[in-house]
Amino acid sequence: MKKNSWKIRALALTLMAVCWLSGCSAHKEISVTAAETQEETRELSLNTETEAETQPEAEPEERCEKDGKIQSYLTGEWTDVAKANRRPLAIMMSNDKAALPQYGINHAGVVYEAPVEGSMNRYMALIEDYDDLDRIGSVRSCRPYYTFFAREFEAVYAHYGQNTFALPYLEQMEHLDGIKGNGASAYFRTKDRKTPHNAYASGPKLRQAIEASGYADAYPESYEGHYTFAPESAPVCFEDGIAAVKVVPGYQLSNPWFEYHPEDGLYYRYQYGGPHMGDEGQIAVKNIIFQYCLWKYYKPTEYLDIDVHTPATGYYFTNGHGILIRWEKDGAYGVTKYYDMDGQEMYDIDLKGSLGLVIGSEGEGISRLVREKCDFIASIPMAGEINSLNASVAAGVLMYEALRQRRK
């Protein structure tokens, strides 16, 4: 049996409140590798599945064609040019036990997992090559926050119905609904499962529905991709980060977890007490991102209103280790960027208004739990061979900078 894997997995929310952050400012975006120790905030690079020895100061490879292949926007892996330059499918999938296994999920390059009502969690799988997949799903209905995830990848969004609160968002995007419109002919129900777990989509018919709807096939010229991928010569490795042999998202009903296998560098997923199997084998991933979000209910219902715009914290796990990260979204429909927590230079942060300063120790800085409670992380630019100040001096410097900004 062929073993496929999600190359990247992004977790949209756990309902365990770890830290809610507000406010943002511009970050300098550069790639992070294991060897870099710069003090500005750095955009994270994600690993591809190819392993190699770490080389310091390596720059990400530019996306260019080689022998009829180009790097995928979803995985960073070399993919047939026609398929890699084609907008992906973003399709909703059930994770109810009665709906397992999910068909087609082993072909996904990115999978978002987020909670819905009733303590359930649901997937949105982004798939580049789905032309030959005769059965994808089971397909479930849309929730508003998934529409923002799909638009980050310029994807055609596929779903089987929606709740009332998602309608305004669907009207603003290109989507294929299994209940009505041009997309309905691409979906079918099977007799091997009970409703609502028996709705599936046909890859070839989805292609026909996209054409019939007049949706663009290729990415827009302005699209620059979602992730920055580390070059194969310098994979991301957080040896000084959190040891992450087992990663537990915290969902209650399916009780999922990931186990790291050093022999192939992948995290294998488990849930409902055993291996999480797609129709083509156990699901295994290279990268895991936890993205914590603010949330509330659409009262008086139990539908979740998950805020995927207000910056907050999370975690990035790869190669058996993880680090605390910060995320922020580039505009209402832009991509979400993930940064390490080394901090912006204080000159680039708005220190006016109400402000409470938390000063870390000279040797180890601020603890992880305290970092998670902070709205932003600031660093004091240093010159020469001195790389830290004692706490009282650091506090004085920051307070003076806050005063300087307020006197402008």
CATH code for the domain of 356: 3.40.1280.10
Cβ atoms of 20 and 296 closer than 8 Å:
no
Q: Which of 290, 322, 354 is the last residue of a domain?
A: 322
Domain that holds residue 317: 6-322
The whole-number pLDDT of residue 144 equals: 96
Q: Is residue 208 part of a domain?
A: yes
Under a CB-based contact definition with an 8 Å cutoff, are residues 72 and 85 in contact?
Answer: no
| pLDDT at site 260 | 95
Is 60 within a domain? yes
Is residue 336 in a domain?
Answer: no
* In-domain check, residue 387: yes
Q: Any idea what the CATH number is for the domain that residue 263 is in?
A: 3.50.90.10
In a domain, 41, yes or no: yes
Q: 310 and 372 share a domain?
A: no
**Cβ neighbours of residue 204 under 8 Å, at least 6 residues apart?**
131, 132, 134
Same structural domain, 270 and 354: no
Per-residue confidence (pLDDT) for residue 345, from 0 to 100: 65
| Residue 311 sits in the same domain as residue 352 | no
Where a domain ends, among 269, 289, 322? Answer: 322
Q: How many CB atoms lie within 10 A of CB 130?
A: 22
- Whether the CB-CB separation of 95 and 122 falls below 8 Å is answered with yes
Same domain, 264 and 395: no
pLDDT confidence of residue 127: 96
3-state secondary structure (DSSP) of residue 93: strand
333 within domain boundaries: no
- Residue 297 sits in the same domain as residue 362: no
- What was the pLDDT predicted at 341? 73
| pLDDT at residue 100, rounded to an integer | 96
Burial 65-98 (b: 16+ CB within 10 A, else e): eeeeebbbbbbbbbbeeeebbbbbbbbbbbbbee
Start-end of H helices in 142-193? 144-151, 167-170
In the numeric block, which tokens belong to residue 191? Answer: 């007799």
d(CA 225, CA 128): 14
| Low pLDDT (below 50) residues in the chain | 1-42, 50-60
The count of domains in the chain is 2
130 and 250 co-located in one domain: yes
330 part of a folded domain? no
Mean pLDDT estimate for the chain? 81
Same domain assignment for residues 314 and 364: no
Q: 58 and 112: one domain?
A: yes
pTM of the model: 0.76
Which of 256, 290, 322 delimits the end of a domain?
322
282 and 212 within one domain:
yes
Q: What is the pLDDT of residue 18?
A: 22
> For residue 181, what pLDDT is reported?
86
Return the pLDDT at 241: 83
Residues 288 and 364 reside in one and the same domain = no
Of the candidates 202, 225, 246, which has an alpha carbon nearest to the alpha carbon of residue 336? 225
For β-strands 136-137 and 199-201, DSSP reports them as: antiparallel
108 and 188 in a common domain: yes
Strands (E), 190-283: 199-201, 228-229, 242-243, 246-247, 257-261, 266-271, 274-275, 277-278, 281-282
- 159, 256: one domain: yes
Query: Which 8-state DSSP code applies to residue 205?
Result: H
Q: Where are the beta strands (DSSP E) in 178-223?
A: 187-189, 199-201
Q: Which residues, 6 or more positions from 144, have their beta carbon under 8 angstroms from its beta carbon?
A: 163, 165, 166, 169, 305, 306
Residue 88 pLDDT? 97
Specify the pLDDT at position 43: 55
Q: In whole angstroms, how far apart are CA 77 and each of 8, 50, 148? A: 11, 8, 24
Q: Which is nearest to 338 in space by CA: 3, 10, 1?
A: 10
Residues contacting 131, CB < 8 A, separation 6+: 203, 204, 207
Does a structural domain hold residue 340?
A: no
- Cα separation of 189 and 349, whole Å? 54
